[in-house]
Structure 1
């Protein structure tokens, strides 16, 4: 595969802005929705009756967004073309009683979310983001994007064997500091209230998390690499949003293009906003029934539906090549990857490979295979969940990155645009 430097600087710059503006799943879906609004989409409330009108529509629920475009002439049995992704990333999340401290230090109590590389959160300047819930049920986004917290590592003088193997206790060693003076009850929420311009006693709930405040950046002699936070999996959310907006503003597609960006993939997808919940199925079915369809139409539409589950995979690591499958070494800027696992950790089969190949050929984009080493446990995605829950053909795809689940990940700067091009070709049919 060619790795010539050819990436679309505009797309990559836009991705960098999206990453920086999306420190939490709630920000990611709000930013995706704003982009779709510019492309003519309108938000629907799940509690309202839906009509049969054509055009772009979307539903927001927590950290998830389902968006779709109904072309003119679509029938109740028109199949869907779905891009699946997830909005969450491993991080440190604020506990219900957040005010902590010891030995004269003020700290914030956190819980480990997902499977982060814990060492990547050490000695890193962290901000605070997420959402608060007010007494009347209203949500407000929170984005404190400055050096606020830090998880300090123990000095080597006090742990002489640290370079022979760092061991971190999740409860004792990962609590960030944010000042001096010890515990002050209600301190964090009063701070958040001041930052968001509300009264502290109006905040009755919160979903807050830490994020690295270091901005995304190009990297390397020729700037052919991209370093940044939450690439797993906001690269796919951004690419899917771009592809859906393109489908809605170009020639009328032969299918109904859909973006399904879920929350909670990093901890199993079992929530009302996760891929294992009913959200996607409910939206697709209501779309069929709003167009006057029957259960028979729903069955026909689902039978003809294909989903590209887009998530990151592992680029071959130059320092740990033995951990990869010897015959399958995806490289940065080599194009999107097709992810396969015969034990259904990924949902791809031969039919899915054919659909992916066709989309790559239409887009004029190179592509690569990803398969795990037989001796290394394989990760998974929303792909198998989507296939099993909804009975639709699902293909696992993505881009190859290094440092997956780190506070700061690394990819080829070409690959996000190449992925978006393939997803757009897929949605266009």
Structure 2
């Protein structure tokens, strides 16, 4: 992708890297998203407050590790439709268990539970941090993020001569990080060091493990980006920039819905299978003087762009991919299709995505799975099922998806951002 005014690739990648670095957990991603939007005129609302009578403007709400933001344009009415960008804030990895102090033989370790479907081997021998939220007995919530404090050490080849024939980690005993030396104990004291929070007052936490190596460009022409959590902070980042640029005088209401817990199936109060997006859209329509019928009319005039990472063809494993549809690095973001509705794209949505990419002056490429290698799914089918909104599944092509450190082509990331922004401004057909 050349710099034709849609996005400067270098600036876009630098900002994406900064967003990923600031977002080691879903809670941090939601907070960083709210901070960025707040700097551009978005007002944070409380779900417990009365939203009736809210006129044109820019608003957001945070529910745990999820964020929904919207722009109500001048002239919006009770049946005004929505343009929704869907994404998710979480990434696969590990979550800290209760009573996390474990270890033996002079090693202090942290008891963790596997979160989602990470490539376990990729987490070995990396310097790791803990990040997320802790709560005190009085209900106060605090975000914390440590520096590098832990590591999951691999067994030396001298002690397992068959390791290169296939490494299989025990999901209980093989993935507990080492964080200190001595008898087990004191992990929360270490994690809260410098936070001003008394460990004696902490009674609960939602803390995940994250890699501390910052994102970095590499390659012969620095055309690649290596980073943790590109699945799916690359989508949330694109959505944030699109919302910041969203017009205040359009004919549709622009929305960003960044859900939590997609990697677990989305069944939570802050996930796409929960009521969050439906609650917000209903309250927006209600605030514009609409009723239940107006809401159904608005949803019938709405479209959701579900943005989640997809797969580039792997040069060492081409047989794992469809023999004809083979997404290549630098050839544009992906339009994701699946006959069994694991992705929600249909022909009408595909045409809309083609118009968005044409308006952004970027290419795109189709992704379908090899028939013998079933694909995963996204928030797209869930949103389409819950709300009846036409939904299009798209995303950034990656290698090493669900690794602690994924990679993409920088042109594809910038092109995705340009196309997502264009989606919000497409004329109503």
Normalising by structure 2, report the TM-score.
0.97
1:28-47 equivalent positions in 2, closer than 5 A:
28-47=29-48
Unaligned runs of 5+ residues in structure 1 are none
The yes-or-no answer on 1:214 pairing with 2:213 is yes
Unaligned runs of 5+ residues in structure 2 are none
Partner of residue 414 from structure 2, selected from 408, 412, 417: 417
Contact kept, 8 Å, 2:144 with 2:192, in 1: the verdict is no
Report what 2:319 is aligned to. Answer: 322
Task: Please state how far the C-alpha of 1:4 moved relative to its aligned partner.
Answer: 6.3
Contact kept, 8 Å, 1:144 with 1:195, in 2: the verdict is no
Contact kept, 8 Å, 1:314 with 1:330, in 2: the verdict is yes
Inter-partner Cα distance in structure 2 for 1:345 and 1:26: 27
Inter-partner Cα distance in structure 2 for 1:38 and 1:302: 29
Contact kept, 8 Å, 2:71 with 2:248, in 1: the verdict is no
1:346-365 equivalent positions in 2, closer than 5 A:
346-365=343-362
Deviations 1:20-77 (A, max 9, x none): 1100000101111111111110011000000321111011011100110000100010
* Change over 3 Å in CA distance of 1:330–1:5 after alignment to 2: farther
Report what 1:169 is aligned to. Answer: 170
1:48-197 equivalent positions in 2, closer than 5 A:
48-50=49-51, 51-145=53-147, 147-184=148-185, 187-197=186-196
Number of residue pairs matched by the alignment: 422
Contact kept, 8 Å, 1:253 with 1:427, in 2: the verdict is no
Inter-partner Cα distance in structure 1 for 2:138 and 2:348: 50
Report what 2:204 is aligned to. Answer: 205
Once superposed, what is the RMSD of the aligned Cα atoms? 1.2
Inter-partner Cα distance in structure 2 for 1:332 and 1:88: 24
Task: Please state how far the C-alpha of 1:201 moved relative to its aligned partner.
Answer: 1.6
Task: Please state how far the C-alpha of 1:402 moved relative to its aligned partner.
Answer: 0.3
Inter-partner Cα distance in structure 2 for 1:411 and 1:253: 33
Contact kept, 8 Å, 1:254 with 1:428, in 2: the verdict is no
SS at match of 1:149: coil
Report what 1:282 is aligned to. Answer: 279
Task: Please state how far the C-alpha of 1:5 moved relative to its aligned partner.
Answer: 8.5
Deviations 1:264-300 (A, max 9, x none): 0001000000000000000000100011101111010
Deviations 1:341-375 (A, max 9, x none): 01010000101101111111111110000000001
Contact kept, 8 Å, 1:309 with 1:396, in 2: the verdict is yes
Inter-partner Cα distance in structure 1 for 2:289 and 2:249: 21
Inter-partner Cα distance in structure 1 for 2:265 and 2:320: 24
SS at match of 1:298: helix
SS at match of 2:194: helix
Inter-partner Cα distance in structure 2 for 1:193 and 1:75: 48
Inter-partner Cα distance in structure 2 for 1:336 and 1:400: 6
Task: Please state how far the C-alpha of 1:329 moved relative to its aligned partner.
Answer: 0.9
Contact kept, 8 Å, 1:5 with 1:224, in 2: the verdict is no
Structure 1: 4+ residue segments shifted above 3 A: 3-7
Deviations 1:306-332 (A, max 9, x none): 000000000011100110001111112
